[in-house]
């Protein structure tokens, strides 16, 4: 049986309120953009599922297609693709991200 | 390796911009893009629209990262 990676991504982002696909882990990020994205979520004080895409090349390729978004990190809230590092930073600075995360299973 | 001018040309060819600034070190780039096309689009849609113009370079890894700030001409002039 071949793996249905699109379904794996869909299942993960819809069954967890906040999911961050990143390079490395929140403790040991392997890319500056992923480090910033994880740091922003920590500052928002929200629990999130972090997926290290460097450990799974099929997932790395699948999420680019899933969100029609060519780069990592990628943030999903309640199954919706929110954006990458720039968008997260902009939304955090304007207080929009905090608002979006309010009451999300933290 | 890419030159900022190359990235700038790709964006300009793919999207009508009223203002465009690109800076970068060969792999990581930052772009400020002002386009009337962004009206009514979400942030994600705007970034998707710009990324589309450099999709081949992002896919090949020639371009590692393109950091974006996107505005409509109205938003841009409101910034003063």
How many domains is chain A partitioned into structurally? Answer: 1
Cβ–Cβ contact A89 with B under 8 A: no
- Is residue A106 pLDDT above 80, yes or no? no
- Structure confidence at residue A1 as a pLDDT band (50, 70, 90): low
Q: What per-residue confidence (pLDDT) applies to B33?
A: 98
Please list the residues that pair with A22 across neighbouring strands. Answer: A52
> If you measure CA to CA, which chain B residue comes closest to A91?
B43
Provide the CATH number for the domain around residue B22. 3.30.300.90
Residue A63 placed within a domain: yes
Query: Where do the DSSP E strands lie in chain A?
Result: 18-22, 49-52, 74-77, 80-83
Q: How many domains does chain B have?
A: 1
Find the domain containing A91 and state its range.
Answer: 5-101
Q: Is the pLDDT of residue A25 over 90?
A: yes
Size of interface A-B (CB pairs under 8 A): 31
Contact B43 A33 (CB under 8 A): no
Interface confidence (ipTM) of the complex: 0.76
Summarize the confidence of residues A63-77 as an average pLDDT. 94
* Average pLDDT of span A23-32: 96
Q: Give mean pLDDT, residues B16-22.
A: 97
CA atoms of B46 and A35, how far apart (whole Å)? 23
Write out the residue range of the structural domain in which residue B38 sits.
4-78
Mean of pLDDT over chain B:
93
Estimate the crossing angle of helix A85-93 against helix B43-53, to 10 degrees: 150
pLDDT tens digits, residue range B30-70?
Answer: 999 999 999 999 999 999 999 999 999 988 888 988 999 99
**CATH number for position A63:** 3.40.30.10
Question: Of B61, B66, B63, nearest to B48 (Cα)?
Answer: B66
- Identify the residue among A71, A73, A82, A89 best suited for mutation to test binding to B, counting B beta carbons within 10 A and taking the highest: A71
Output DSSP code: residue B21: E
Average pLDDT of every residue of chain A: 94
Q: Smallest Cα–Cα separation from B13: which of B44, B54, B45?
A: B54
Distance, CA of B23 to CA of B21 (rounded, Å): 7
């Amino acid at each position: 049986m071949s793996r249905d990676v699109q379904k794996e991504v869909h299942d993960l982002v819809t069954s967890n309120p906040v999911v961050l696909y990143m390079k490395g882990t929140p403790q040991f990020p392997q890319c500056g953009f992923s480090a910033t994205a994880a740091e922003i979520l920590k500052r928002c004080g929200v629990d999130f599922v972090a997926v290290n895409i460097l450990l799974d090349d099929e997932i790395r390729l699948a999420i680019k297609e899933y969100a029609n978004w060519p780069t990592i990190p990628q943030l999903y809230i309640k199954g919706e693709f929110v954006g990458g590092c720039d968008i997260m930073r902009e939304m955090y600075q304007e207080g929009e991200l905090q608002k979006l995360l309010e009451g999300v299973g933290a | 390796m890419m030159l900022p001018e190359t990235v700038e040309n790709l964006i300009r060819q793919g999207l009508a911009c009223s203002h465009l600034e690109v800076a970068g070190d060969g792999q990581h780039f930052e772009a400020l893009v002002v386009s009337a096309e962004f009206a009514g689009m979400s942030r994600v849609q705007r970034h998707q629209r710009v990324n589309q113009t450099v999709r081949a370079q992002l896919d090949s890894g020639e371009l590692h990262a393109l950091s974006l700030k996107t505005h409509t001409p109205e938003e841009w002039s409101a910034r003063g």
